[in-house]
Amino acid sequence: MKLSNTINDGVIQTLDRLCGSSVVTYPFKNKITDLNDSLDSYFKIAFQADGQWAFDDINNSSPAIDTQTITSGTNRYKIGTFTEKIINLIKLEVLDSTGLGHELIAEDFSNLSDTFQKLYLDTTVTGIPQWYCKYGDFIYLRPFPNYTLALALKAYFNRPASKFEFVSCQPEADDDLITAAGHGLVAGDTVIFEADTGGALPAILTADTQFYVIASGLTTSVFRVATTLGGSTVNIATDGTGVTFLKTSKEPGIPSIHHLYLARKAALAYMNYTGSQKLGFLPQQVLLDEKEITTYFGNRNKDEHKIITFKQRAYK
């Protein structure tokens, strides 16, 4: 289910149907905020219930693994220095000076309160790290590494959901191009446009209206749009200011069987803060959805092998 699909219902259309709302009564940006909150709720459930292997957003194109350089004589490494956004560390490894990997043993800081100074701040004890301890936004290794090696501290982790986000862009009147470096769009994708506070959309790019990305002029940094799939480029008569776009053909990065949960969870939030009396069975349904999500992640097992038996059958 795509974020928005005016032909086959997307998440947005399902959300409006549940709420009895429209873009006027429930603005697009408010919907996106509530859907992103629903994604956060989903990921919290998934991380807590997933006992077999780490759940990750399907939209990510790289594994949830990141590295830092190990520096001789330094045993403190900032988690925020990893290029990825890390919610929770699953496992840490270090490479020794020969490039051989070693899994580090985690130690609980609360159980080391009396000995942390001795264990993790004694610079005289050096070698290949074997243990680590998290404190705040830092990872402490022991013993202190006695070698320097690039990409030698390897983290396996949980990361946040790939949210639905408005991206800054610049429509240009002279060539009808819309500039947005690294936009990631392909021909056929759908987008909507919004103006930031104090900004202004070109007249043709009506807010909250679906446009189609076309092949004409498409590069990694610019794109053009049409009002229909594969249609002609819209004529941008004036440059815009403070313009943003949102890719509405993006799908949530969770199993498709749970897309409806996002709409239900967001609808519940909308109805609660608008004081709607039409909640009906929605709160109970959201609770049932969350139990099903917990069961789904609690039961899945990538290494499960079922024994299949065959009965012999006699044929004449």
**pLDDT tens, residue by residue, 159-202:** 888 999 999 999 999 999 999 999 999 999 999 999 998 889 99
What pLDDT is attached to residue 13? 95
Whether 22 maps to a domain, the answer reads no
The answer as to whether 125 is a domain residue is: yes
Assign 51 a pLDDT band (cuts: 50, 70, 90): low
Structure tokens at 242: 């403070």
- Residue 149 located in a structural domain: yes
Which tens digit of pLDDT belongs to each residue from 260-312?
999 999 999 999 888 877 788 899 999 999 999 999 888 765 455 444 444 44
Domain carrying residue 145 = 65-158
CB 153 within 8 A of CB 69: yes
Q: Number of folded domains in the chain?
A: 1
pLDDT band at 231 (very low <50, low <70, confident <90, very high): very high
What pLDDT is stored for residue 3 in this prediction? 96
Left, alpha or beta for 182 (phi > 0: left; psi -120 to 50: alpha)? Answer: left
Residue 109 pLDDT greater than 60, yes or no? yes
Q: pLDDT band at residue 218, thresholds of 50, 70 and 90? A: very high
In a domain, 263, yes or no: no
Alpha helices, DSSP H only, in 93-158?
Answer: 116-120
Report the range of poorest mean pLDDT among 55-69, 126-140, 187-201. 55-69
| Structural domain contains residue 279 | no
Distance CA 102, CA 264 (A): 45
Q: Contact, 224 vs 217, CB < 8 A?
A: yes
pLDDT over 90 for what percent of the chain? 70
Residue 119 lies in a domain: yes
Distances (CA, A) of 179 to 162, 182, 189, 302: 22, 9, 16, 43
| pLDDT for the residue 307 | 47
pTM: 0.80
- At residue 312, the pLDDT reads 46
